[in-house]
Amino acid sequence: MTTTPGSPETPEVLRPHAEQAYADELAALRAHDADTGRVRPPSWQLSPGAVTTYLLGGELPDGTHVSPKYVGSRRLVEIAVASLATDRALLLLGVPGTAKTWVGEHLAAAISGTSTLVVQGTAGTAEEALRYGWNYARLLAEGPSEAALVPSPVMRAMCTGALVRIEELTRIPADVQDALISILSEKTLPVPELDTEVQARPGFNVIATANNRDKGVNDLSSALKRRFNTVVLPLPDSVEQEVEIVRSRVSALGRSLDLPADLGAGDGAPSEIERVVTVFRELRSGSTLDRRTSLKSPSATLSTAEAISVMTNGLSLAAHFGDGVVRAADVAAGLVGAVVKDPVADAIVWQEYLETVVRDRPAWADLYRACRELG
Amino acid sequence: MTTSVLVPLGVRHHGPGSARAVRAALEELQPDLVVVEGCPELDPLVAHVADPGLVPPVAALVYAADDPRRAAFYPFAAFSPEWVALRWAVARDVPVRFADLPAVHQLAPEAPDDAGEDARPASYPDVIGTLARTAGYDDPERWWEDAVELPDAAGSVLDRFALLREAVTEVRDAHRAEHPEEDLENARREAAMRRVVRAALKEGHERVAFVCGAFHAPALHLPDFPAAAHDNRLLARLPRTKVAVTWVPWTHGRLRLASGYGAGVGSPGWYDHLFTWADRDRDGVVPAWMVAVARALRTAGIDAPPASLVEATRLADELAVMRCRPSAGLAELQDAVLTVLCEGSTLPLQLVEEQVVVGQRLGEVPEHVPMAPVAADLARQQRAVRLKPSASVTEAVLDLRTPNGRARSALLHRLRLLGIDWGTPVDAGRTTGTFKEAWRLQWDPGFAVALVDAGLRGTTVADAAARTVAEDAAAAPDLPALSDLVEACLLADLPAGLTAVVDALAERTTHQHDALALAESVGPLARTRRYGDVRGADTTRVAGLLGTVVVRASVGLRAACASLDDDAAARARRAMETCDEGVTLLDDAELRRPWQEALAILAADETVHGSVGGRANRLLLDAGVVVPSTAAERMARRLSPAAPAPAAAAWLDGFLAGDAAVLLHDDDLLRILDDWMAGTADVVFDDLLPLLRRTFARFSAAERRAVARGVGRGPARPGARSVALDVEAAAPVLAGVARLLGAPGVGGAVA
Of the candidates B585, B595, B544, the one whose C-alpha atom is nearest the C-alpha of residue A356 is B544
Residue B745 domain-assigned?
A: yes
Residue B498 domain-assigned?
A: yes
Same domain flag for B286 and B411: no
Q: What is the DSSP string of B320-362?
A: HHHTT-SS--HHHHHHHIIIIISTT-HHHHHHHIIIIII---B
Q: Tell me which of B432, B464, B491 is where a domain ends.
A: B491
Q: Which residue of B has its CA nearest to A360?
A: B548
Nearest-neighbour CA in chain B from A99: distance (Å): 16
Contact list, A91 vs chain B (CB under 8 Å):
344
Nearest-neighbour CA in chain A from B610: distance (Å): 22
Q: What is the DSSP string of B113-147?
A: GGGGGGSPPTT---HHHHHHHHTT-S-HHHHHIII
CA–CA gap between residue B699 and residue B248 (Å, rounded): 63
| Alpha-carbon distance values, B373 to A84, B248, B384, B453 (Å) | 56, 9, 16, 11
Whether B579 and B571 have beta carbons less than 8 Å apart is answered as no
Residue B547 domain-assigned?
A: yes
Q: Tell me which of B338, B358, B378 is where a domain ends.
A: B358
List A residues 73-102 in contact with B (Cβ-Cβ < 8 A): 75, 78-79, 81-83, 85-86, 88, 91, 93
Same domain flag for B245 and B338: no
Same domain flag for B650 and B525: yes
Domain count within chain B: 5
Task: State the pLDDT at residue B152.
Answer: 59
CA–CA gap between residue B560 and residue B605 (Å, rounded): 13
Same domain flag for B110 and B230: yes
Same domain flag for B330 and B390: no
Of the candidates B449, B450, B429, B447, the one whose C-alpha atom is nearest the C-alpha of residue B438 is B429
Range of the domain at B434: 386-491
Nearest-neighbour CA in chain B from A86: distance (Å): 7
Same domain flag for B602 and B651: yes
Residue B370 domain-assigned?
A: no
Strand-strand pairing, A58-59 and A65-66: antiparallel
Angle separating helix axes B645-656 and B682-697, nearest 10 degrees: 20
Same domain flag for B41 and B171: yes
Same domain flag for B209 and B288: no
Task: State the pLDDT at residue B747.
Answer: 43
Residue B718 domain-assigned?
A: no
Same domain flag for B44 and B190: yes
Same domain flag for B189 and B223: yes
Same domain flag for B597 and B661: yes
Residue B529 domain-assigned?
A: yes
Same domain flag for B663 and B516: yes
Tell me what ipTM this predicted complex has. Answer: 0.78
Residue B150 domain-assigned?
A: yes
Residue B687 domain-assigned?
A: yes
Quickly count: other Cβ atoms within 10 Å of residue B389's Cβ. Answer: 14
Q: Which residue of A has its CA nearest to B318?
A: A82
Q: pLDDT means per 10 residues in chain B (751 residues)?
A: 78 83 89 92 88 85 74 85 92 92 83 44 65 76 71 70 87 83 82 91 90 88 86 85 81 66 73 83 86 91 89 92 83 91 87 84 74 78 83 80 85 88 77 71 69 76 87 79 79 80 79 79 79 64 81 85 84 87 83 87 84 86 81 77 76 78 76 76 76 78 81 57 69 84 56 39
All residues at 6 or more sequence positions from B551 whose CB lies less than 8 Å from its CB, including other chains: A352, A355, A356, B594
Kindly give the confidence (pLDDT) of every residue in chain A, 375 residues in length, as a single tens digit, with 9 standing for 90 and above. 444 444 445 567 777 888 988 899 999 999 998 888 888 898 899 999 999 999 988 888 888 888 888 888 889 999 999 999 998 999 998 887 788 888 999 999 999 999 999 999 988 999 999 999 999 999 999 888 889 999 999 999 999 999 999 999 999 998 999 989 989 989 999 999 999 999 999 999 999 999 876 666 788 888 888 899 999 988 887 888 888 778 777 876 777 677 766 666 555 456 788 888 889 988 888 888 877 777 888 888 888 888 888 988 888 888 888 877 888 888 888 898 888 888 888 888 898 888 888 888 888 888 888 888 886
Query: Structure pTM?
Result: 0.66
Q: Which residue of A has its CA nearest to B309?
A: A226
Q: Rounded to an integer, what is the distance from CA A358 to the centroid of its chain?
A: 31
Q: Residues of B at the A interface (Cβ-Cβ below 8 Å)?
A: 303, 305, 307-308, 311, 314-315, 318-319, 322-323, 331, 335-336, 338-340, 342-346, 506-507, 510-511, 513, 515, 548, 551-552, 555-556, 559, 594
